[in-house]
Amino acid sequence: MKKCFPFAGSTFSFPGNPYIRTVKKILIIQTAFIGDVILATPLIEAAKERFPNGEIHFLLRKGNEGLFQGHPKIDRLWIWDKKENKYKNLFSLLKKIREEEFDEVITCQRYASSGFLTAFSKAKHKAGFKQNPFSIFFDHKVLHEKYSKHEVYRNLELFRYETLKKPKLYPPKIENLPEEKYVCMAPASVWFTKQLPKGKWVELCNKMNPEISIILLGGPSDKALCDEIQSQSKHPKIINKAGELSLLESVGWIKDATMNYVNDSAPLHMASSVNAPCTAFFCSTGPEFGFYPLSDDSKVIQVENLDCKPCGLVGKKACPKGHFKCGKEIKI
């Protein structure tokens, strides 16, 4: 049975709370990396479901706003520049947030900066994770349990919404897609230990049907790696799109691919956001942390029964053991 607590858009009472109120304007805060932002999008969908005639605001870090270009369910994007004048911009944001008089502010992060914005937002109701340093000021607190469930469920608990909603983005229609079937590969990661080794990507390319095009995806900083994979592979139909596409355009290519091969990184969650088929390679991390793909057609490939895996919630710049077996021993 679907269990949802009535939220924005109508009068309701929280379980255990003795008062009734109406929500008209809500702010969702997620200023971390691209994948984290995508995993917060179910909150937008749930808010619009309960709040069809109200305002939905979303705060994210500068550089990630391209994910929401033309988004039909967001009334206003708030952007925090964290690279230049970080704390000056933080206090400026707080002042503007307080002027909005939000009914609800929800932070999906456990860090002090987002907790600070939430705690002193002057919102009528504030929600966040108990591990946030400012959680003492929150009205609704949820324990972020590392191994218990997917991150989407953890975020939705902040909203008192108990049914899974998958991440959702709204990419544009991509023109000039290949006429034949194609697969996408996103070989790069910010962290070395979350990235399948280059040689494995070359091996994967070589094992692909030569009649199927391979589209390499990534940002400008990933172009060199994709160039090397393309030059070292024997596959005749590799197209390197790294550095050429916007975030949403990349999602559009992923959406229509026959399969998407990704690391435990943002492209994994891009695939989930459009329910695209996905094969995810988990090297140093593991799906038990709650960041596995949510597409209907998805699988996780990893080295099993490795004593040192996982070695942390996020990736590392180098293998702590020096051997990187969790990446090198993955079988293609």
DSSP string, 289-325: GS----SSSEEEE---S-TT----SS--SS-TTSS-H
Neighbours of 47 (CB within 10 A): 27
Note every long-range contact of 71-76, with CB atoms under 8 Å and residues 24 or more positions apart, other chains counting.
71/44, 71/169, 71/170, 72/170, 73/44, 73/45, 73/47, 73/48, 74/44
CATH number for the domain harbouring residue 68: 3.40.50.2000
Q: Is the pLDDT of residue 142 over 80?
A: yes
What's the average model confidence in pLDDT over 193-202? Answer: 98
Segment 230-240, tens digit of pLDDT: 999 999 999 99
Write down the mean pLDDT value for the chain: 92
> Lowest mean pLDDT: which of 94-103, 143-152, 248-257?
143-152
* pTM confidence score: 0.91
In a domain, 53, yes or no: yes
Q: Determine the average pLDDT of the residues in 114-132.
A: 97
In this predicted structure, what is the pLDDT of residue 23?
A: 75
Give yes or no for residue 111 having a pLDDT over 60: yes
Task: Examine residue 293 and state whether it is found in any structural domain, yes or no.
Answer: yes
Q: Same domain for 125 and 17? A: yes
Owner of token pair 């005639």: 53
- For residue 27, what are its two tokens? 């702010």
Helix (H) or strand (E) holding 326: helix 325-328
With respect to residue 165, please indicate whether it lies within any of the assigned structural domains. no
Q: What is the mean pLDDT of residues 94-106?
A: 97
Structure tokens at 74: 């967001």
Average pLDDT over residues 312-329: 94
Q: What are phi and psi of 34, to 5 degrees?
A: -55, -50
Per-position b or e across 239-276, b if 16+ CB within 10 A of its CB? bbbbeebebbbbbbbbbbbebbbbbbbbbbbbbbbbbb
Helix (H, G, I), strand (E, B) or coil at 277: coil
User: Is the domain of 37 the same as that of 152?
Assistant: yes
Q: Which domain holds residue 212?
A: 182-328
179 pLDDT tier (thresholds 50, 70, 90): confident
Q: Quick one: average pLDDT of 197-207?
A: 98
Residues 280 and 203 in one domain: yes
pLDDT at 222: 97
- Same domain for 21 and 146, yes or no, is yes
Give 162's pLDDT tier (boundaries 50, 70, 90).
confident
Query: Among 271, 276, 303, which residue's Cα sits nearest to residue 287?
Result: 303
Q: Write down the pLDDT at residue 22.
A: 67
Is residue 108 over pLDDT 90?
A: yes
Task: Give yes or no: residues 231 and 323 share one domain.
Answer: yes
More confident residue, 53 or 189: 189
Same domain, 56 and 95: yes
What pLDDT is recorded for position 331? Answer: 95
**Number of domains making up the chain:** 2
Tell me what the mean pLDDT of segment 313-329 comes to: 94
